[in-house]
Amino acid sequence: MNTVAFRDFEERDIDFIHRCKNDEELNSMIVGEFRPFSYEESTKWVHGCMGEHETYKFWAVCTNDDEKNIVGWASLAKIDKENKSAFFHGIVIGDPNYRKGFPWIEIQQFVIDYAFQTLNVNRLEFSCLADHPTSMFIGPAMFFKQEGLFRQAVCKNGHFHDVAYFGLLKDEYFDHYDRGEYELVSIISRYSELRKGKKCKH
């Protein structure tokens, strides 16, 4: 049984989102710029995430029970139907009880499967800070290939950070998927080996 579930955003999520959007520590390892949100801006942001859109898709990540309380969110952006590509915009886990263990991997599985099996994209990509303690390893564990490194591309907390860019193609995804290599146990094993061997140095 998965530890998290996925649903559309709801009005009851606004307070949680507002706290997350104003949590500087939570936002310290994302590529995007941090700035505090007013409650009105948080409300507008949640409303903008609701429903279906042509170029982006958001999910509220929630507890896998009857209450379905929000613990974070995930999203795809730059959905390009002509070029069959999308950008894995990111994962934010605002509830500290869900930041360790399986949720991170379960979210990765869900979004990647959605991109290739529902949207039928040919290419999925993402970027992260090159010193992010999780993304630099979970990407390769999900068979993303690092395709570039932008040196000192983002300034956060008074320091410049490199930004790494990764890509995964449809045929690569289905090749590994058909071999059962996107099963949770397989992903955890690869992730552990990558962390142990520190193979994702740039």
Residues of the chain with pLDDT under 70: 198-202
- pLDDT score at 84: 98
pLDDT value at residue 199: 53
The CATH number of 4-197 is which of 3.40.630.30, 3.90.1150.10, 3.40.50.300, 3.40.50.720? 3.40.630.30
124-146 pLDDT, tens per residue? 999 999 988 788 999 999 999 99
Secondary structure of the chain in the HEC alphabet? CCCEEEECCCHHHHHHHHHHHCCCCCCCCCCCCCCCCCHHHHHHHHHHHCCCCCCCEEEEEEECCCCCCEEEEEEEEEEECCCCEEEEEEEEECCHHHCCCCHHHHHHHHHHHHHHHHCCCCEEEEEEECCCCCHHHHHHHCCCEEEEEEEEEEEECCEEEEEEEEEEEHHHHHHHHHCCCCCHHHHHHHHHHHHHHCCCCC
Q: What is the pLDDT of residue 134?
A: 84
* Angle formed at CA 112 by CA 49 and CA 169, multiple of 5 degrees: 125
In the chain, the amino acid numbered 155 is C
d(CA 120, CA 140): 21
Q: Are residues 153 and 163 in contact, defined by beta-carbon separation less than 8 angstroms?
A: yes
**The predicted structure's pLDDT at residue 151:** 97
Show me where the domains of the chain are located. Answer: 4-197
